[in-house]
Structure 1
């Protein structure tokens, strides 16, 4: 059994990490760090943990844990690691965007590997430090990775993707407040979303050249969790050739599933899965991609990375059923 610690324990991603770790056969939860909740039971904040654990939040850290998950706000992981030291044997998985880009991957002698297992599985297995991908970035990349690997992303790529309210984090804001969000739909950060950088770097590394422009319109949906992306770009082959391309690329990816049926978010919410379907219209390939933003887009992917690092089955602790009904 390995020991895990969580820093920033009051947020949605931390709540899902706690749930996953508590049901993982190879890991024990050593501590959940939260200065604002120290002494409170975990279920006082994460109500779905009632009856599962009597553990409490703490304001002290065990520097010798085997794996540390950083669930801090973007920009805060850097400051935390500057102010806190851990054993050289401690593996760190950061869920913020602090270390995802190539320019930020080396931090004070720590080399962070971009933790998208479907692309970098062998590198992750040997890594000590992981930059867990963003939720939009994960969903969109899954829709495009096979095309990049086949050197077929030379044209502009049009992306429209909608995320649930949990994507905004646990702290209330004007656009996550229920009366505003309910029965509402809105666009934010068109063409400038912060996940574009990591998407572009991954695709260009696979393609071996610059891709077409990523034209990304992110939306806020009036549901709690999940991301649904619609992506289209020019594709010279047939639909059957596209399906074969995707099936071959993901043949060893246990959580990515190509289907002929229409994709919907209820297939993937509460799971670590990504569901993909393809449509050919004229010379355009339309790709639908759906994930749970808190699991495959955050905490589930972090556990998947942990499994790879410690030599466990990649799917350990992640065989979850969707909440379709």
Structure 2
């Protein structure tokens, strides 16, 4: 018999599909219900066809506290602002641990939330440290004891992991410029005029340049990790991929910094980390991590120019797994006192 019970609130999206898949094969956690405002009464396979025959669960329309009843952990696959209305009820009326995949509790700065997410926060008091930022490579111990985990955004995860070694080594100072290329599944399950297949399959386009909502999340996290006077100029690009994010960040370091020193910084930052690797004979690539919870990081150091050198920091993840549901499962495992890698160590497919 499995030791823990889990519920998913907001179960019809692509991220929820990964949550469901991973929990169904989990040796210690039983998925007991999936709630949604859509597809009520229908089997999960009506929306997630890869789950055909894997479970008898059906989508239920439930109040948050009823969805969480008897559960040890609740995972939220809800949109921004919707999650912020659900979390206070769960904190007040249940004892369950909460892993929230929305952006509602990632920031501490209320003004930044209002600027980048557009409008007032539904539960502003909870921004003052109620949630732990759910990046295990930075906050593992805090996640273990958390009641509420704010799982990071997909672009934020990719970019932070690429720059984290510089921040921890005291080498990240000033502004960086980043281009992040993302797959279509990051736009969600509902097609729009700019995300459905005919305009996505043969196209590259930017959106929210220099104003993406993950920018303050990246700044807060890297500043806490040791970056000084940090700022980011970020341009996201939508690409004809289903899964994956590839980011390139340009940072300036002192002319005395060598490739060997950077290699030491990367090795120290990710020593013992099971899901972050620096390839030995190549740079990161999406195909190597697609379908998995692994991240790849790497760098190239440019020549000395006017007293500094430019570092190009590369990172790649699967946006739905390490950038979403997989990282949420990592946090779920941690808050339940389980092995962090349960159900997450499969390497994905190639090519």
TM-score relative to the length of structure 2: 0.88
The reply on whether 1:248 has 2:250 as its aligned counterpart is: no
- Which residue in the other structure is 1:42 paired with? 44
- For residue 57 of structure 1, report the CA deviation from its aligned partner: 1.0
- Which residue in the other structure is 2:313 paired with? 287
- 1:42-61 aligned within 5 A: 42-60=44-62, 61=67
- For residue 172 of structure 1, report the CA deviation from its aligned partner: 1.3
- Which residue in the other structure is 1:73 paired with? 79
- Which residue in the other structure is 2:294 paired with? 273
- 1:127-276 aligned within 5 A: 127-207=146-226, 209-211=228-230, 213-236=231-254, 237-260=257-280, 261-276=282-297
Determine if contact 1:74/1:97 at 8 Å carries over to the other structure: yes
Between the aligned partners of 1:62 and 1:309, the Cα distance in structure 2 is: 16
Runs of 4+ in 1 over 6 A off after TM superposition: none
Between the aligned partners of 1:182 and 1:208, the Cα distance in structure 2 is: 38
SS, match of residue 109 in structure 2: helix
Q: Deviations over 1:6-26 (max 9, x none)?
A: 011100010100000011111
- For residue 81 of structure 1, report the CA deviation from its aligned partner: 3.3
Between the aligned partners of 1:193 and 1:17, the Cα distance in structure 2 is: 25
Gapped regions of structure 1 (runs ≥ 5): none
Deviates more, 1:236-245 or 1:200-209: 200-209
SS, match of residue 15 in structure 2: helix
The aligned length equals: 324
Tell me the C-alpha RMSD between the 2 structures.
1.8
Gapped regions of structure 2 (runs ≥ 5): 111-123, 304-308
- For residue 34 of structure 1, report the CA deviation from its aligned partner: 1.1
Between the aligned partners of 2:285 and 2:129, the Cα distance in structure 1 is: 39
Distance 1:147 1:182, change over 3 A: same
Determine if contact 1:63/1:87 at 8 Å carries over to the other structure: no
Distance 1:165 1:264, change over 3 A: same
SS, match of residue 210 in structure 1: strand
SS, match of residue 28 in structure 1: strand
Determine if contact 2:109/2:127 at 8 Å carries over to the other structure: no
- For residue 208 of structure 1, report the CA deviation from its aligned partner: 6.2
- Which residue in the other structure is 1:112 paired with? 131
TM-score relative to the length of structure 1: 0.95
Between the aligned partners of 1:291 and 1:173, the Cα distance in structure 2 is: 24
Between the aligned partners of 1:220 and 1:67, the Cα distance in structure 2 is: 33
SS, match of residue 59 in structure 2: coil
